[in-house]
Structure 1
Amino acid sequence: MTAPYHGRCNCGAVTATFASEPLWVRQCWCRQCQRAAAGSATVNALFPIEGMTLAGEVAWKAYDAASGNTVEQGFCPSCGTPIFGRNSSRKDSLVVRLGFLDAGHGLKPSSVIWLDEAPAWAVIDPALEQFARQSPPPLSPGAS
């Protein structure tokens, strides 16, 4: 599938459409993501905010991440579905949890980050580009 991508929380109170392709799709094994994902990695896509439509209320909780950035987790206040992440270093984009997107989206990770914090039992696809900590920042849309 290609853009647009659509998503909804478990109860349907929050819906979103993303008009463009994501800048990246990856797994994150940082400790904060392991907590958010009940012990596993999160699987996320970075979408530009421009061209996104959002309906419904999103609740946010902020914390200071090991990367040195302020990170906020966005979730549905009605059902608790994890939806977004936002990062103080990327104000023009949102990290979208792949589980929020409608089935059949076809997106899959091309890299995995924060492997230094992954548990010993984690299974990492050797075909994915791997980073011990944070990967280099993606190019902004339209940048070369």
Structure 2
Amino acid sequence: MCEAIRYSFRGPPKFVMQCCCKDCQKATGTGHTTIVGIDRAQLQITGEPRTYTVLGDSGNGVIRHFCGTCASRLYTMSAMSDTLVMIQSGTLDDPNMVTPECVIYKKDALAWDRFDPALPTFDALPPDPAT
């Protein structure tokens, strides 16, 4: 939002998912977030994000990276992997450059939230998160 931190990524994403987990709901203040999965090597970033770690549904640490100036949530990483980055699609210069492929953590979806009925849904993570 404030552009104190800028990022871009090269190449196609590994996945684009709409996540309904309770952590994403609380972190975004809405029913779900759309995450774009990329390899860490694809990410170019200027500026130094701050981090905050919470426990995810798996019991592992979820590291939120955000702007220390305006507090915009930029991307998330798992404490289990330093190679997978999950970008918050709303922080992209053009969020329309990605299209959700599935809905995850549907078991936590709020009754009033709506999704494309053509998208596959999973109660938790899909069998292969790169789907």
Deviation per CA, 1:25-67, whole angstroms, max 9, x where unpaired? 0100000000111122011100111132110010111011112
- In 2, Cα distance between the equivalents of 1:84 and 1:42? 11
SS at match of 2:37: strand
Q: Structure 1 125/20 Cα, relative in aligned 2: closer, same or farther at 3 Å?
A: same
Equivalent residue, structure 2, for 1:102: 93
Q: TM-score, normalised by structure 2?
A: 0.91
Which structure has more helix as a fraction of its residues?
2
Whether the aligned pair in 2 keeps the contact of 1:36 and 1:42 (CA below 8 Å) is no
Please tell me whether residue 57 in structure 1 is matched to residue 76 in structure 2.
no
Is the alpha carbon distance of 1:69 and 1:136 closer, same or farther for their aligned partners in structure 2, counting shifts above 3 Å?
farther
- Secondary structure (helix, strand or coil) at the match of 2:41 reads coil
* Aligned pairs (5 A) from 1:61-100: 61-100=52-91
In structure 2, the residue matched to 1:45 is 36
Q: Percent identity?
A: 28
1:121 deviates by 1.4
Q: Residue 77 of structure 1 aligns to a residue in which SS?
A: coil
TM normalised by structure 1 equals 0.84
Q: Distance between the aligned counterparts of 2:78 and 2:99, measured in 1? A: 21
Runs of 4+ in 1 over 6 A off after TM superposition: none
Partner of residue 27 from structure 2, selected from 26, 36, 54: 36
Contact 2:53–2:61 (CA under 8 A) maintained in structure 1: yes
Q: Displacement, 1:129? A: 1.3
| Residues 123 and 94 (structure 1), Cα distance of their counterparts in 2 relative to 1, 3 Å cut | same
Give unpaired runs (5+ residues) of structure 2: none
SS in 1 for 2:26: helix
| Contact 2:66–2:74, Cα closer than 8 Å, also in 1 | yes
Q: Deviations over 1:91-120 (max 9, x none)?
A: 212000011111265201010100111111
Gaps of 5+ in 1: 1-9, 140-144
2:109 maps to: 118
Distance 1:54 1:111, change over 3 A: same
Given that residues 36 and 89 in structure 2 are in contact (C-alpha distance below 8 angstroms), is that contact kept between their aligned partners in structure 1?
A: yes
Secondary structure of 1:84 counterpart: strand
